[in-house]
Structure formats: C-alpha cells, structure tokens
C-alpha cells in the first residue's frame, strides 16, 4: 500500500490561501491521489483527485509534484466553513483497500 | 438526486446482542464501501462491494462482522455478539465503479453504542 504522510494540524486565516501538503513517496504510476475532508460530526466529503497533472475544481486545486512523491491541496480563499480534517489518500488501482491516514486538522481563524 | 442514506442514524445496543446496519447507495453506483470511525480516530476501511460481490473480506475486524449486498443496491453490515469495542460511527460510501479515478460519496453514518 502507498502510505501517505500529512501534518497533524495547520492553521490559517479567513480569506487567505491554504496549502495542505501530503507525502506519498511509495506511490506507483497508476495510483490516483484523492483528497477528502470531514467537517465536524459529518461523513467525509470528496474534494478533488488527480493522477499526474494539476487539477482545479470549484472547491480547490491539486498540485502534484513532477515525481509524484508529494502533492498539495490548495484552498484559494479559506472560509470558516473550510475548517475540517483533510485526508490525502493514495488510491491503488487494482487493489481493494483504501487507506486513510490521520489527516490534517485545519483551523481557520476569523 | 438523493445521496447515500444510512439507517438507523443512531443505535444503542447491549453487549452480546446482534445489530444490523443498512446502507442505500446512490442509484446506479456499482461500488459500495463500508468504513468505521472510532471516537477521535481516522477512518478504517472494512469492506467493499463491486456489484453484489465482496472479493476481499480481510478488512473486517473479526468473524463477528459480516456484510452483504443484494440486487446491486442495498447493503447491510451485521455485527453479531456486539462488544464495547465495536462502538463507533459506521460509514457507507458509494461510487460509480470501483476504479481509482472515481470519487466516493459518503452517507451520514450510523453511530453505534454498545453498553
């Protein structure tokens, strides 16, 4: 399994960009990188995913390093509603197990 | 459209009793997943279904846990002879197919408390 490593916690201010890092040094060429977040007392919510190229959607951007050993989730303008635990997951093509790490607890200051 | 639904939302049971948790995936989603989250912990993968088939059950914590899916839709997770360590939030998710390129949609979870 490709293990991911994230900081335990991060803090940012409202309306500022947030860069959430993830290391996945053992990722293989066909494994996708997914990001989910979990708001308090809710189930996880899909944020974004990618394979090799950088990806953008209405929620966030995903920047993937050229060697694919790391990636960064970018929230362009954080709001208080973005306070959550963010999980970076390496989805192994062909395997049957999804591995969630401990995630990064993001705190947004008003 | 309707998202993933789970029932019951809360279940309190006595140690030693059996419980059944239900998941209704998004219509048309062929892949279904079960996770659990103990208090203050991350998500632990339990089992997945592609259609009605669960090829790998090794993620289930013990032989007291079983899961089935019928008609390619509803799934039930059954825990026999519940123990206090089974207390957790049990989450179900579905995706269009089981491929890494597809995102998963999670239900609100069933909070199980074993007393």
pLDDT tens-digit profile, chain B (115 residues): 589 999 999 999 999 999 999 999 999 999 999 999 998 777 888 999 988 999 888 889 999 999 999 998 999 999 999 999 999 999 999 999 877 778 889 999 999 999 9
Subunit contact B91:A101, Cβ cutoff 8 A: no
Of all residues in chain B, the one with the smallest CA distance to A51 is: B101
Residues of chain A with pLDDT under 70: 1-2, 93-98
pLDDT value of position A98 = 65
Q: How far apart are CA B15 and CA B89, in angstroms?
A: 17
Contact flag A49-B42 (C-beta cutoff 8 Å): no
Q: Going edge to edge, which strands form the sheet with B65-69?
A: B5-7, B19-24, B75-79, B65-69
Average per-residue pLDDT in chain A?
A: 89
**B72-92: burial string, b at 16+ Cβ within 10 Å, e else:** bbebebebeebeeebbbbbbb
Cβ contact B108–A93 (<8 Å): no
Quick check: A46 and B107 CB within 8 A?
no
CA A42-B53-A27 angle, to 5 degrees, is 65
CA A88 to chain centre: 4
Residue A29: beta bridge partners? none
DSSP for B83-112 reads -GGG-EEEEEEEESSSSTTS--EE---EEE
List chain A residues with CB under 8 Å of B100: 30-32, 34, 91-93
């Amino acid at each position: 399994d490709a293990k991911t490593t994230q900081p335990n916690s991060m803090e940012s201010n409202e309306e500022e960009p947030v860069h959430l890092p993830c290391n996945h040094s053992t990722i293989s060429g066909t494994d996708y990188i997914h990001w989910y977040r979990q708001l308090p007392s809710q189930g996880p919510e899909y944020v974004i995913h990618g394979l090799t190229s950088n990806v953008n959607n209405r929620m966030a951007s995903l920047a993937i390093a050229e060697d694919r050993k790391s990636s960064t989730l970018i929230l362009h303008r954080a709001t208080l509603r973005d306070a959550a635990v963010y999980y970076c997951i390496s989805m192994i093509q062909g395997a049957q197990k999804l591995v969630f790490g401990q995630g990064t607890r993001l705190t947004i200051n008003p | 459209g309707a998202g993933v639904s789970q029932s019951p939302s809360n279940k309190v049971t006595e140690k030693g009793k059996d419980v059944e948790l239900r998941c209704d995936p998004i219509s048309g989603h062929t892949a279904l997943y079960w996770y659990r989250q103990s208090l203050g912990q991350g998500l632990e993968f339990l089992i997945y279904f592609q259609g009605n088939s669960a090829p790998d059950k090794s993620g289930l914590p013990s032989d007291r846990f079983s899961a089935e899916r019928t008609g390619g839709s509803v799934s039930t997770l059954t825990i026999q002879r519940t123990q206090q360590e089974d207390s957790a939030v049990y989450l179900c998710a579905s995706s269009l197919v089981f491929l890494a390129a597809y995102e998963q949609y999670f239900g609100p979870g069933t909070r199980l408390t074993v007393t």
